[in-house]
Amino acid sequence: MNKTDRPRPGEFTNTKGTSPAGSYDSVSIALHWLTAVLVVVQFLLAEFWDFFNRPTRHEMITAHMSFGILLGTVIVVRILWRVAYGRKMPSAASGLAGAAAQFVHRAFYVLLAMQVVLGFILRWSGNEAMSFFGLQLPPPFAPFSKAGHEVVDQFHNIVGWTIIVLAFGHALFAILHHYVLKDGLLKRMAPALGR
């Protein structure tokens, strides 16, 4: 490596030592930000529909179901794209930090998939149809007891908050990398920041 090829202090490098590391492909980037938007929208709908009257609350709940199914579809597409076509990027860190980052990344996929499934079970366990932009998906099984339905509701809520806490931490670390460490890591998912 000659002098001009060496990374600047604090700049992210990939496993081959070249710099800069580049960014993910445009499809991976689009799916990442679409996931982020849907997660935030889902959280806001669920947290605020109780403050609205019945017609508006019903529309918000219906939108929550529809966007939840859309989010599940996006997650499946992300996984398939990542495995088959997506650009593979080196880990942003090594050792314990790298292992923690990989764990959180995988935890997002698991938790988001769980949340979508729990959404279906929650509706159906209460003997209510799931709605996808007007298409009604009736329960395929008998309703749960009131106690069983409430357990699913609580679990759905806990997983939702866990996703939000992880997402907040993920965003905080991305901002830290960009503005404090200045290592170019955030540019992998937001290449426009490097322009």
What distance in Å separates the CA atoms of residue 99 and residue 60, rounded to the nearest whole number?
38
For residues 92-96, give the mean pLDDT: 68
Backbone angles phi, psi at 137, to 5 degrees: -115, 100
Share of the chain above pLDDT 70, in %: 83
What distance in Å separates the CA atoms of residue 180 and residue 189, rounded to the nearest whole number?
17
pLDDT digits (tens, 9 = 90+) for 42-65: 999 999 999 999 999 999 999 999
Average pLDDT, the chain: 84
Q: What letters, b where the CB count within 10 A reaches 16 and e where it falls short, cover 126-135?
A: bebebbbeee
- All structural domains of the chain, each given as residue ranges with its CATH number in brackets, are 23-194 (1.20.950)
pLDDT digits (tens, 9 = 90+) for 134-188: 999 999 999 999 999 999 999 999 999 999 999 998 888 888 877 887 777 777 7
Q: Which two tokens stand for residue 60?
A: 């918000």
What distance in Å separates the CA atoms of residue 95 and residue 13, rounded to the nearest whole number?
15
What distance in Å separates the CA atoms of residue 189 and residue 25, rounded to the nearest whole number?
9
Q: Which two tokens stand for residue 115?
A: 């949340």
The answer to whether 33 and 186 are in contact (CB under 8 A) is no
DSSP letter, residue 52: S
In Å, the largest CA–CA distance within the chain is: 70
Q: Which two tokens stand for residue 32?
A: 């990442």
